[in-house]
Amino acid sequence: METPKEQQDETKASGSFRDRWRQMAVFLVGAVVVALYFGGYLHMPDPLQGKPAKAFSLSSLDGGEVNLANHIGKDVVLLDFWAVWCPPCRKSIPALADIAGEFAPKGLVVYAVNQQDTPERVNSFLKSENITVPVLMDPESVAGDLYGVSSIPKIVLIDRTGTIVFTHGGYGPGAGGTIRRAVDKALQ
């Protein structure tokens, strides 16, 4: 026959065991949700989707001026809000340069909208990575604020009518394919 002390120890041990399993289950569910989100599989609709694009005018890295309004009605435009210091941005830029090259003949215009880096730093990065993509400089986050950019990279896809048809935040496994499919759909 067990003593009350032994019964109490056994109850504590089984309670502790259950608590550890509960903690492990909560951790695993959280890890799966985070992985799905950053992998682009849990995409919450951005409030910008379906809204008209907001026009802005920014200086390009090569010294010209680009006005988004000039593209409305004739081009599909992909805006990539990014910065040199952002590791996911550094991964997304080469993929976006590839998308730009692939879809430009069909009417896609891509702008990498740099958030707050210096032109020298951007040029240095593009040269070191051998990347050719049109860059707009947004040192005061004027365009970033218009498009609600609170984290980068952020992709905004605008169709020929000037409607935002797709947005994507972050860049992880599968993001390139997701962006490519959205571009293909917008060009049809």
Q: Is residue 147 part of a domain?
A: yes
Q: Are residues 33 and 99 in the same domain?
A: no
Q: Are residues 77 and 3 in the same domain?
A: no
Q: Are residues 24 and 107 in the same domain?
A: no
* Position 168 confidence tier, pLDDT thresholds 50, 70, 90: very high
Q: Are residues 74 and 14 in the same domain?
A: no
Average pLDDT over the chain reads 88
Kindly state the percentage of the chain with pLDDT values over 70. 84
Domain boundaries, position 134: 57-187
Cα(102)–Cα(187) distance, integer angstroms = 12
Q: Are residues 23 and 66 in the same domain?
A: no
Q: Are residues 22 and 108 in the same domain?
A: no
In this prediction, residues 58-67 reach a mean pLDDT of 95
Q: pLDDT at position 9, please?
A: 57
Is residue 136's pLDDT more than 80? Answer: yes
Q: Is residue 47 part of a domain?
A: no
Domain count, the chain: 2
* Position 21 confidence tier, pLDDT thresholds 50, 70, 90: confident
Q: Is residue 53 a contact partner of residue 164, using CB atoms and an 8 Å limit?
A: yes
In this prediction, residues 51-62 reach a mean pLDDT of 95
Is residue 141's pLDDT more than 90? Answer: yes
Is residue 173's pLDDT more than 80? Answer: yes
Q: pLDDT at position 96, please?
A: 93
Tell me phi and psi for residue 142, to 5 degrees.
Answer: -65, -55
Distance of CA 24 to the CA centre of its chain: 30
Cα(172)–Cα(27) distance, integer angstroms = 21
Q: Are residues 32 and 61 in the same domain?
A: no
* Position 133 confidence tier, pLDDT thresholds 50, 70, 90: very high
- Global pTM reads 0.76
Q: Are residues 101 and 28 in the same domain?
A: no
Q: Is residue 50 part of a domain?
A: no
CATH number for 104: 3.40.30.10
Q: Are residues 27 and 64 in the same domain?
A: no
Q: Which residue has the higher pLDDT, 80 or 36?
A: 80
Q: pLDDT at position 13, please?
A: 55
Q: Are residues 68 and 97 in the same domain?
A: yes
Q: Are residues 13 and 98 in the same domain?
A: no
Q: Is residue 46 part of a domain?
A: no
Q: Are residues 30 and 86 in the same domain?
A: no
